[in-house]
Structure 1
Amino acid sequence: MLCPPIGRRLSRKWTKRPRASHSIIDIGGLNHFPMDVPLALALASLLLGFVLMTVSALAEVSLSTISREHVRSLSDEGVSSAKRVEALLKDTERLLSGVLVLKTLAICLAVAAVTWLVLRSGYGAGVVWAVAAVALLLLLVQVWGRLLAVQHPVTVALRVTRPLRWLIFLITPVIWLLALVVRKSGPQEADASRNVFLTEDGLRLLLNFGEEERFIEDDEREMIDSIFRFSETTVEEVMVPRVDVIAIEQDASLQEALDTIVTYGHSRIPVYEDTIDKIVGVLYAKDLLTCYRDGRRDVTIKELMREPYFVPESAMVDDLLGDLQHRKTHLAIVVDEYGGTAGIVTIEDLLEEIVGEIQDEYDSEAPMLVEQERGIYIASGRADIDDINRELDIALPEDEESYTLAGMLYSHLQRVPDVGDTLDIGNVHLEVLRVNDNRIEQVKIVVEQPQEDETIKEAQ
């Protein structure tokens, strides 16, 4: 056998092209993506992305729902993890920034790792689907972490604090840089809301979940909802209307004033001059009783009464509550747009908007809504439409002119109703039961059940 010439063999040997140190795949703009990254590193990046997303989800919800008082008590008992939680909660701006950076980093790591794995396998066309799948998995991890944190906020917060502190420490330069950019680009005035860690919408979502999982009782949920509505309620909606106001004339005797106080059980009574539209003061029962105790019977009501506090119908109840606390008074006179007396409002009226009706030994009022039988109710004409809708799960119309059941009937009938007058609204039938001096005092409400409910009932 003849051997090839030595020169030819050397030529083939030295002209052979060297193997590239790494391969390049060019697919749809993904050119120059290095393929020599170790598989273990890509998998580690993917795992790290999911871990960071889990930690951020657990931390965000648990630290925003945990009771600071509970954390403080645990810290006083010597629980070291509780002290770490306290330290994190002292700087909510840094905590929020850290959680957001961790989320962003988690997404970047996971997407980069999956993109590399897909390209390495040679299925470049599946990059978009792979990235979408990873995004969905990250979302599921986020949801799972949030649900777990809502169910066990204290346990999760205490356990997630240690890794979270280390992670935030590692990304501190990034947080500092972002804060610097925000300060330079944003307004210089301090935002009073920047320390708010949980928004109202976020709290409502947590409340919905807590109610569904029976962590929050119905009455607790109702009270929290009332607090949210408190800032949106006007004085006109909660005041005692003018026709129900118990007042005395300034020239009345002390005995007449005492009889009025004993009869109605009020500790404060408005005092008027000539007409109730001209309120000139407020008589306190304790001032009157002090006169009787000291034997001063020659004192007049005009001398005893205190200066009244007037508020417009359009005032918001949350602002009024603060004003009453600041003035250290419990009663305000509500005036209409013409300066006449529209009614009165007390601190008790405001608190009832949150906790419900407060009955004492002097209250003899009938309940605003009483169930007679299934689907049939007796309501006071003064009953609030919003309360009735919420209690009966119906949708009676409410507008700016009528907040009560009687006001709605006046608005729809366009006249003074008589006993027996009816009104049908959707599946709700209303009938006027009692009218006194042109005032609707009692209304019968019949809520017709849907047809499917009757069918189910017959089948049972």
Structure 2
Amino acid sequence: MSRYARTQVTARRSVPPGLRWALLAVLVMAATGAGAALAAAGPAGTTAEAGWTPLLVIEVVLTVLCMVGSTAFSYAEAGLVAMPKPLIRRLAEQGDDPRARAVEELIESGLDDAVALLAIMVTPLNLAVATFVGHLTVVLLGPAYYIHTAIGSLVVVLLLCEIVPKTYASHYPDRVALSTVRWVVPLVGSLPVRLVFSAVKAGSWPVRHILGFDDDLYRVRGFSEDELQSLLDIAEEHDVIDEAEAEMFDSIVSIGERTAREIMVPRVDIVIVDASVPVAEAAKIIAQSGKSRIAVHEGADDEIIGILYATDVLRCFHAGDTEKTVRDVAREPLLVPETKPVDDLFRELRQRRTHLALVIDEHGGVDGLVTMEDVLEEIVGDVRDEHDIDEHPDIRQLDDGAYLVSGTTPRHEIEELLNIDFGDDNGEFDTIAGLLFVRADGLPEAGYYVDHGPFRFQVVSMDGLRIVEVRIERLAPSPSGEESAH
């Protein structure tokens, strides 16, 4: 069953027995208190002291109305704050319930102001209840009963106007939001209420200014990154989400900390074709590489002028234009700086409706290439297609417990795998091969290793000057935790 379905099932459940008994107890307490007051007042027209006057009747009615109003506003406020917005939007799209559409319009037009208005209106109503009850007690029962009645009214107000409605609304926020929206919308949109809200904001401005609060005081604040991370940890501890879901959520939360340089395909690994090559020959290069998009250069290898799409090559074959050169069909590339955050990169790729961008370094040269697949892999992990099935994974654990990793494995993946920190290197390296190059006095060769903390990183194989594979093994405990290279 999907989460939406579970939420809808929850919304149809009956009121829990505990809430029923709590509400019944509050009603009994209120009725008992009213009966005691009337009994103390005596028959209509006579009381122990001042007499039962029409003014007192009006005061009792106003007390009850204030309690009802406070309960309703607390009920609606808690429901609107806790309501599941995705479910409301889904119900509105289905069009089966006009109330869902009304709630969605409230979300779009100003949910924060509506919640703030409801919260503000609860306070004066509770104060009015306390004032009326105190006055009625003195008039009907005498000053001697004031303390007892004040404590009793406080308990009733807390239960009836705060605890019970907010507890129910927190358990069934969708039901509460749908049931209250018809009177909440016209109420918060009425001129008198808006004037009161504006007056409260204006009156509180000096205090907010002195305390350093901004004008968004009445806005419902979102979660910070640290708060979201704490919520994810708690959810995982209580098995609300599994480990895979937790890792995905964690990747989404922290995706803005990564840069294009950290996830790009390095310049040396980019498949490149010369701009003067005929389309027919370029088709063979695409087929051999297994890539659907390759870079196009003219002159020096670093002068990349465009991107060749396999779909454009197919169109040329279909039209019989195989004699065209790659330059004729190449598309202009999207250029991004190497420091661009991954979340911004994702948005730009979507806005430009492209799946690939060239990463430019501080000197204006091409540092690498990044695709939409690289961005998505930061969230969901490795995405492998039919061309990846024969490739070795970047990280493999050997029988002896050591790891064999690709030289291009990102630094942050190694840090997470081994639970270590390579320290602040001012961006000297982004991959495990980069670590070995930075720590070496000269060019590393097969067999060269670096000891960092409790681990040894050793070059296993090379392709020319490139480090292809690195072995990582745990060292025996030693008194010195310093780094060494050999």
The two structures share one fold, judged by TM-score above 0.5: yes
Provide the C-alpha distance between the structure 2 equivalents of 1:297 and 1:198, rounded to a whole number of angstroms. 59
Residues 352 and 122 of structure 1: CA distance in aligned 2, closer, same or farther (over 3 Å): same
**Residue 453 of structure 2 corresponds to residue 434 of structure 1:** no
Alignment of 1:33-432 (within 5 A): 56-57=77-78, 59-63=80-84, 67-72=87-92, 76-78=95-97, 82=100, 85-86=103-104, 88-91=106-109, 92-98=111-117, 100-101=119-120, 145=167, 149=170, 155-159=172-176, 162=179, 176-180=195-199, 182=201, 197=220, 199-201=222-224, 203-204=228-229, 206-363=231-388, 364-372=390-398, 376-391=402-417, 393-397=419-423, 399-401=425-427, 402-413=429-440, 415-418=442-445, 419-425=447-453, 428-432=454-458
Aligned-residue offset at 1:177:
2.5
Asked if structure 2 preserves the Cα contact closer than 8 Å seen for 1:230 and 1:317, the reply is yes
Shift of residue 285 of structure 1? 2.0
CA deviation vs aligned residue, 1:54-105 (integer Å, no higher than 9, x gap): 8755542335x6533344267x334x76466446534413233135426766
Instruction: Write the letter of the residue equivalent to 1:328.
Output: R
Structure 1 contact 59–161 (Cα < 8 Å) conserved: no
Aligned CA distance change for structure 1 residues 51 and 284 (closer, same or farther; 3 Å): closer
Q: Secondary structure at the match of 2:387?
A: coil
- Which amino acid in structure 1 is aligned with residue 114 of structure 2? L
Q: Secondary structure at the match of 1:320?
A: helix
Q: Supply the AA of the counterpart residue of 2:451.
A: L
2:291 and 2:263 map into 1 onto residues whose CA distance is: 18
| 3-state secondary structure, aligned to 1:277 | coil
- How far does the alpha carbon of each residue in 1:315-365 deviate from its partner, in whole angstroms, 9 at most, with x for none? 233333333334333222222111222011122222222222211111243
**d(CA) in 1 for partners of 2:121, 2:430:** 49
Calculate the aligned-residue CA RMSD, in Å.
5.1
Change (3 A) 1:66 1:348: closer
Question: Could you say if the C-alpha distance between residues 170 and 410 of structure 1 is closer, same or farther in structure 2, counting changes exceeding 3 Å?
Answer: same
TM-score normalised per structure 1: 0.65
Return the alpha-carbon distance in structure 2 between the equivalents of residues 331 and 271 of structure 1.
13
TM normalised by structure 2 equals: 0.62
Equivalent-residue separation in structure 2 for 1:213 and 1:367 (angstroms) = 32
Amino acid of the residue matched to residue 318 of structure 1? D
Gaps of 5+ in 1: 1-19, 22-40, 132-136, 451-460
- Deviation digits for residues 368-423 of structure 1 (CA, Å, limit 9, x no counterpart): 22334696433323222333444555545465413323333444456544425132
- The DSSP-based 3-state class of the residue aligned with 2:287 is helix
1:443 is matched with: 470
Q: In 2, are the aligned partners of 1:235 and 1:314 still within 8 Å (CA)? A: yes
Q: Distance in 2 between matches of 1:101 and 1:399?
A: 52
Cα distance change, pair 49–287 in 1 and its aligned pair in 2 (3 A): closer
Shift of 1:432: 1.9
Runs of 5+ unmatched residues, structure 2: 1-48, 51-61, 135-142, 207-213, 478-486
